[in-house]
Amino acid sequence: MLYVLKRLVALALVLLVSSFIVFSGMYLAPGSPEQFLVQGRTVSPEVLDAIRAQYGLDDPFLVRYWNWLIDVLHGDFGRSLLTQQDVSTLIESRLPTTLFLAAYAAILIVLLGVGLGILAATRSGAFEKVVVFGSNLGFAVPTFFAALVLMALFGANLGWFPVSGSGEGFADRVWHLTLPAIALAFPAIAVVARITRTAVREEQGSEHVVMAVARGVPKRIVLGRHTIRNSMLPVTTVIGTNIAGLLASAFVIEYAFTLDGIGSLLVNSVQKKDFAVVQAIALIMVLAFGLINLIVDLLYAVIDPRVRLAREVSA
Amino acid sequence: MLNVEHLTLAVADPDTGEETEILRGNSFSLRQGEALGLVGESGSGKSMTLKCLLGIEPGGARVGGSIELDGTDLLAARGEQLRRIRANDLALIAQNPHGALNPVLRVERFLVEGMADARGIPKAAAKARAADLLRQVGITDTERVLGSYPHQLSGGMLQRVVIAGAMSGEPKLLLADEPTTALDVTTQAEVVAILDEKRRQHGLSMIFVTHDLDLAAAVCDRLAVMKDGAILEIGTPDDIRDRPKTEYTRALMAARPLLHPAGRAPVPANGTEAHE
Amino acid sequence: MTSRQITTEPPANTVGQDTVAVQAIRRQRLDGPVTGWRRLRLRLGTLGLVCVGILAVVVLTAVFAPYIAPYDPYVGSIVDRHLPPSLEHWFGTDQSGRDIFSRIVWGARTSLIGPTVVVLVAAVSASLLALTAVWFGGRVDAFIGRVLDVLFAFPNMLLAILAVAIFGPSLLTASIALAIGFTPYSARVIRSVALRERNLPYVSSAQLQGISGLVITGRHILPNVRTQIFTGMTINFGYAMIDLAALSFLGLGVQPPTPDWGLMVSNGQASLLQGYWEQSVFAGLAIVITVAALGYVGEQLGGRRAAGRTR
């Protein structure tokens, strides 16, 4: 428990530093926000002053950071410079799509990646060769390219799936997000399948597995209880990294499929220099990334007693 | 009971396909209740001989000759038949007890698995017997040990657990692969004593692999000296010690640390022997 | 009783025979440092050599683009839009009537320069940080560790996008930001290996002799982390290529009309959905083939493990 607490404190500190970096980065950006707000129209200096006062642009940098940080801690990310919408509300409306997409892709990664890896490790021959070849090639396929190919094949040509929009209600969402989730998961499935296969193969030669075989433990049990179970230890880390990585690649996929998630919102906001939104999304992503990594570490401690106990002693 | 004839083992280099002979046509046999010591330097093929008996030689290796255990051809055994032989007739005590147990499962699972999953004893009965098995190898706080993970126990304690597991059935043949090499000096003597006592109690046959001549002489009825994959000579400990037939055995005798009266477990001659 | 067979002739190789042989099957095979051409070729295997060939072709294409490309990559005619592959236009033409093959040939340049910058910047910064941390240890090590922790908190692509948001879209901005994102991963690996070397007795004895830290680090520690640095570069190159292509796809990297593989995939999106697949597919395949070939070569050189199985 103490360990979890320590990690959460560390995460909070990292978030604090990140917020400072993100905020000062936006502050340093060339081109002043009020120029953006007036959109190139000529306005009187009085109006400009009014705008500066409204957004607190005349305050010293640290004061502005402090005010922003306090607001953020209250859940207030300010207003979009572009649409004048409340950023929190905006993100709240976009978040479900991204979470759904990421969860869908994560499930695909776990099921297909681990499943194919285990199958390839346990049966030699043509199937194994196909998986090995596929995983060698698969990790090299950029998500956006996979997205376009899927779109063209199953969307435009065959018409099985929609090529844009994220749908309403659960079933419709699944239908809309199937192609995006496959495209998003594709390279990660290849990586996980490859690591799984190697891990299982390595475990097959480990001392305790050979011992179990020598003790006459049935094949099925040796495979399930010893080989596969233990090979999942390194695989968990890889799955974790890949699922955390989904957050970042999700915005490419959302952009390709024009989904209304926070990823496409981020890309659009960057293109339009809507910094209030960019700051907010960046912080949320750092938080989510940190949380996923923490969860993976905890999960690892749960499935490997050596890790758990070592930490309890040290903590 | 055990008859090994012209046992050969060759592995092929995965790149060149060139074959290396690891065992060069060895023959030996074992009577009921007899203990045979396989002694030699690391890499002489001692452990590989045990692996061939169990059918756990490395993948891609080619085994020749014949191994008969009470009339059953072990080399011909496959699948379920081989599994039953491993479960019921053979028992392996590995060199490194920390490697032999699955690190993420508790000790109780290890013992129960050997009885329930390998030999079909009902799980409840196997659980009930586990503590008793540990007491037989001199472990008193059985509850703690059964609930522990391997990394929480010392090597000596774990090796006792492995011995308890090996004794849980009624194996015909005990295969001990340098069971004390990975242990520290004080526990070595205890573990050997327990192993020896249990073996005599149950009247089991045993093949005892070690690089330690004195230890082998103390525990075994006969010794086989191995070098470079071949058995140089086989004889009683006295024969080997007093009337060595080959120059190599004589050199081996001369090389061991002296001042050790036979019967006491001595300091290993080479504590850093590579895992095989 | 016992029959015995005595070999009278001891074999040539006398020590550790089964250990060596078993290692040959079981352990990482061919896992020493790569020395000499023969060994390199052996380790690459046939497929590895094919991959090296592919990479060579890609690099040569980038270098000699002006001589290879049959058409000007920037100029097309509306009359020639969306032509299918033919003898004149091997890969057909795009929505502006430009020759796709020529654009892919020229695109090799931008598509390779970005990752090269990423890999070099990341390798230099990771090595500097790691070696500094290892040499001074203590507080310096702890401080650098915290800096890396903060960098770890940002997904690479997010870092790149933020940089683009701040400095405007350009290949250089995106590359340097990605390099910063890759740094902590390489730095951790290099640090752990360098630390092992740092703790060897010969280093402290050199230190006692008054040899400066810079010299010891440069002469003794750096050569020992060479493998980690190069392996990291190989791995990073592929990921950098994909990430930069993705940024160009989002309109945040290379800007049109510069020919770039990622940008071409993006530009072809609308055409692809109308059935003109050539631009997106050929550009996408160029990325896939290059990254896959690089990945395979990297994996072969990094050493692989073979499996031991029992009957």
B35-40 and C28-29 as β-strands: parallel, antiparallel, unpaired? unpaired
Domain membership flag for residue C128 = yes
Find residue A237's DSSP bridge partners: none
> Would you call A184 exposed, middle or buried from its count of C-beta atoms within 10 A (0-12, 13-18, 19+)?
buried
CB contact under 8 A, B92 and A211: yes
Q: Which residue has the tokens 């007093």?
A: B242
pLDDT band for position A186 (cuts 50, 70, 90): very high
C interface toward B at CB cutoff 8 Å?
A: 1-7, 10-11, 14-22, 24-26, 29-30, 42, 306-311
Tell me the chain C residues in contact with residue B27 when contact means C-beta distances shorter than 8 Å. Answer: 2-5
CB contact under 8 A, A140 and C280: no
pLDDT at residue number A308? 59
Same domain for C2 and C71, yes or no, is: no
Cβ-Cβ contacts under 8 Å between A and C: the total is: 149
Q: Which residue has the tokens 């920037």?
A: C74
At residue A79, the 3 state secondary structure works out as: strand
pLDDT at residue number A296? 84
Instruction: State which of B50-59, B211-220, C13-22, C117-126 shows the largest mean pLDDT.
Output: C117-126
Compute CA B215 distance to the chain's CA centroid, rounded to the nearest angstrom: 14
Domain membership flag for residue C37 = no
Same domain for C148 and C175, yes or no, is: yes
Q: Are B228 and C17 in contact (CB under 8 A)?
A: yes
pLDDT at residue number C302? 63
Arithmetic mean of pLDDT, A197-226: 90
Cβ-Cβ contacts under 8 Å between A and B: the total is: 76
Same domain for C9 and C142, yes or no, is: no
Same domain for C61 and C11, yes or no, is: no
**pLDDT tens, per residue, chain C with 311 residues:** 333 333 333 333 333 333 444 444 433 334 444 556 776 777 778 888 899 999 999 999 999 988 887 888 887 777 777 778 888 878 888 887 788 888 999 999 999 999 999 999 999 999 999 999 988 888 999 999 889 988 888 888 888 888 888 888 888 999 999 999 999 988 988 998 888 888 888 888 888 888 888 888 888 888 888 878 887 888 889 889 999 999 988 888 888 888 999 999 888 888 888 878 888 899 999 999 999 998 888 777 764 433 333 33
pLDDT band for position B15 (cuts 50, 70, 90): low
The pTM of this model reads 0.81
* A208: nearest CB among B87, B90, B102: B102
Domain membership flag for residue C38 = no
pLDDT at residue number A313? 38
Q: Which residue has the tokens 């061919």?
A: C30
Q: Which of residues 115-174 of B touch A (CB under 8 A)?
A: 117-119, 149, 151-152, 165
Q: Given a cut of 90, is residue B188 above it in pLDDT?
A: no
CB contact under 8 A, B27 and C3: yes
pLDDT at residue number C4? 34
* A215: nearest CB among B86, B105, B152: B86
Q: At what angle do helices A87-108 and A262-272 cross, to 10 degrees?
A: 130
CATH of the domain at C165: 1.10.3720.10
CA distance A297 to chain C (A): 15
pLDDT at residue number C8? 32
Phi, psi dihedral angles at C50 (to 5 degrees): -60, -45
* C269: nearest CB among A136, A148, A278: A148
CB within 8 Å of B165: residues ≥ 6 apart: A215, B91, B110, B111, B114, B133
Q: Given a cut of 60, is residue A167 above it in pLDDT?
A: yes
DSSP symbols for C256-267:
TTS--HHHHHHH
Domain membership flag for residue C40 = no
Same domain for C154 and C103, yes or no, is: yes
Tell me the chain B residues in contact with residue A218 when contact means C-beta distances shorter than 8 Å. Answer: 83, 117-118
Same domain for C152 and C220, yes or no, is: yes
Q: Does A163 touch chain C (CB under 8 A)?
A: yes
Residue in A129, A144, A150, A284 to test binding to C, most C beta-carbons within 10 Å: A144
pLDDT at residue number C18? 38
Same domain for C263 and C232, yes or no, is: yes
Task: Please tell me the CATH superfamily of domain A95-263, with its number.
Answer: MetI-like (1.10.3720.10)
Domain membership flag for residue C119 = yes
- As a whole number of angstroms, the distance between CA C81 and CA C95 comes to 5
CB contact under 8 A, A215 and B99: no
The answer to whether ipTM exceeds 0.90 is: no
Q: What is the domain range of residue C24? A: 1-32
Total structural domains within chain C = 2
Find the Cα–Cα–Cα–Cα dihedral B236, B239, B241, B244, rounded to 10°. Answer: -130
Domain membership flag for residue C3 = yes
Same domain for C287 and C148, yes or no, is: yes
CA distance C183 to chain B (A): 34
Domain membership flag for residue C65 = yes
Chains that touch A (3 or more CB pairs under 8 A): B, C
**For chain A, which residues make up each domain, given as ranges?**
95-263
CB contact under 8 A, C11 and B228: yes
Same domain for C55 and C158, yes or no, is: yes
* C251: nearest CB among A140, A163, A271: A271
Mean pLDDT of all residues belonging to chain A: 84
Q: Given a cut of 60, is residue B118 above it in pLDDT?
A: yes
Give all strands of the β-sheet with B90-93 in edge-to-edge order: B90-93, B173-177, B205-210, B35-40, B222-227, B230-235
CA distance C16 to chain B (A): 4
Same domain for C54 and C85, yes or no, is: yes
pLDDT band for position B228 (cuts 50, 70, 90): confident
Same domain for C138 and C14, yes or no, is: no
CB contact under 8 A, B28 and C42: no
Domain membership flag for residue C127 = yes
Same domain for C4 and C78, yes or no, is: no
pLDDT band for position B1 (cuts 50, 70, 90): confident
Q: Does A198 touch chain C (CB under 8 A)?
A: yes
CB contact under 8 A, A142 and C168: no
Residue in A201, A209, A211, A235 to test binding to B, most B beta-carbons within 10 Å: A211
Tell me the chain A residues in contact with residue B96 when contact means C-beta distances shorter than 8 Å. Answer: 207
Residue in C146, C154, C281 to test binding to A, most A beta-carbons within 10 Å: C154
The tens digit of pLDDT for each residue in A247-264 reads: 888 889 998 888 888 989
Q: At what angle do helices A275-303 and A2-28 cross, to 10 degrees?
A: 160
Arithmetic mean of pLDDT, A214-232: 90
